[in-house]
Amino acid sequence: MNRFLPPRSPLRMAWLLAAGLSFAAGCGSEHIDGTYGRRRGSPGGDSVNGTAVLAEMFREAGWKVTSRRFLSPRINDYDTIVWAPDDFQPPGDDVRDFLEDWLAQGSQRTLVYIGRDFDAEVSYWAAILAAAPADQRVEVLRRLARARAAYAARRATMPDKRDFSWFTMHRDPGSRATRKSRGGEPPWSGTWSQGDGIDVSGIRAEIHSRLDPPATRSSGGDRSPYRSEILLQSPDGILAYRLVHRTQSGNQILVVNNGSFLLNLPLIEKEHRKLAGKLIAQCGTPAKVVFLESGEGGPFVFQQEPGSKQPTGLEAFTVWPLGGILWHFLALGVLYLFARLAIFGRPYELPPEAISDFGRHVHAFGELLAGTKDQAYARQQLAQFHDRNQRDTNPPPDPAPRQAD
């Protein structure tokens, strides 16, 4: 068995196809998790677009795996970063500068960037459609059309062409799957296609847009700081390549066109798992790897570790989001104080309490009895009170006068 193939990975993903087939039989679930680029969590951990299987393959190869959703100085503790952003735009300047500084501050470091232009949910429903019975095809077609529409709407935000320090992006219309080379077409090439173990005819990766290596010289005539090496190229375009800085030995950037052979659902294919194994081997000696998870706009960048310096005193009011919360509590406290303040005005005397109210005497006597906490004594006093009250209400009759002798 290939040492990069974790025995649990195919079983982890097999239930996804089983769920779809059971749906086609009329007993399937109502929702397929399509959360993109996450290793764990709900949703995300079992998503067709997740990275849980790839992370497990890293773990089986001896790597220590973790996840982060922002960039901070603690990222220097890791030797490899795997980043599959849920964003059709190229990385922003702040993220790119941070990651390039991270590479420059160490040695034998690897950044794996996986392009976004792929959605495994579309592939999932397309595969289910092929096996769906006639009475379920309409519903499967509806869900396939909905997945394609959502993917196309987000893909429309991708720029037509843009030069970036790591690649040149070309948004080509339409979609095409990689094919076996035919007569007159260039064969598969690249470092990963060489040697034994990879059957390129079993690769089902897709190429939608192109991420080409940066030009040797930019439009302004400046020389690119990177030299490139093709890792895998199909007859339809480049699937993966490697960038090495001209002045930084040992560090590298691995650019993958998209996740069509690295996400959870595509890794069901045996040849895709072999390609993932070559990617892991390309990262070098097993150490610490972090899966960076981000959505549109990229991850937050912190120049100082969040929580490393807690604000004190009035400084807390200037730190977001703690400051906003404290201002709300301050406003509520002021309103409470105003509600509890005394009402000022002309003083007046309250009417004196009546001293002839016998009910107040009874109430006071009851409180005194309750204060003794002696039930027997209280009953005795009440019995004496009722007995005395009865004698006063019904006095005994006067004796008859005696007659004179």
Give the pLDDT confidence score for residue 306 in this predicted structure: 78
pLDDT category at 14 given cuts 50, 70, 90 is very low
Tens digits of per-residue pLDDT, 122-154?
999 999 998 888 999 999 999 999 999 999 999
Measured CA angle at 207 (ends 206, 211), to 5 deg: 140
> 207-211, 247-251, 345-349 — which is least confidently predicted?
345-349
Tens digits of per-residue pLDDT, 250-260?
899 999 999 99
Mean pLDDT for 233-242 is 90
The share of the chain scoring above pLDDT 90, in percent, equals: 40
Tens digits of per-residue pLDDT, 342-387?
777 777 787 877 777 777 778 888 888 888 888 888 888 888 878 8
How many other C-beta atoms can be found within 10 angstroms of the C-beta atom of residue 167? 24
Give the pLDDT confidence score for residue 243 in this predicted structure: 94
pLDDT at 9 over 50: no
Mean pLDDT for 322-347 is 83
Residue with the two structure tokens 């699937």? 239
Contact 14, 62 (CB under 8 A): no
Structure tokens at 357: 């109210």
pTM of this prediction? 0.70
Distance CA 229, CA 299 (A): 28
Structure tokens at 336: 């409470």
Contact 233, 210 (CB under 8 A): no
Average pLDDT, the chain: 82
**Nearest CA among 181, 184, 180, 234 for reference residue 202:** 180
Mean pLDDT for 232-257 is 90
Give the pLDDT confidence score for residue 173 in this predicted structure: 55
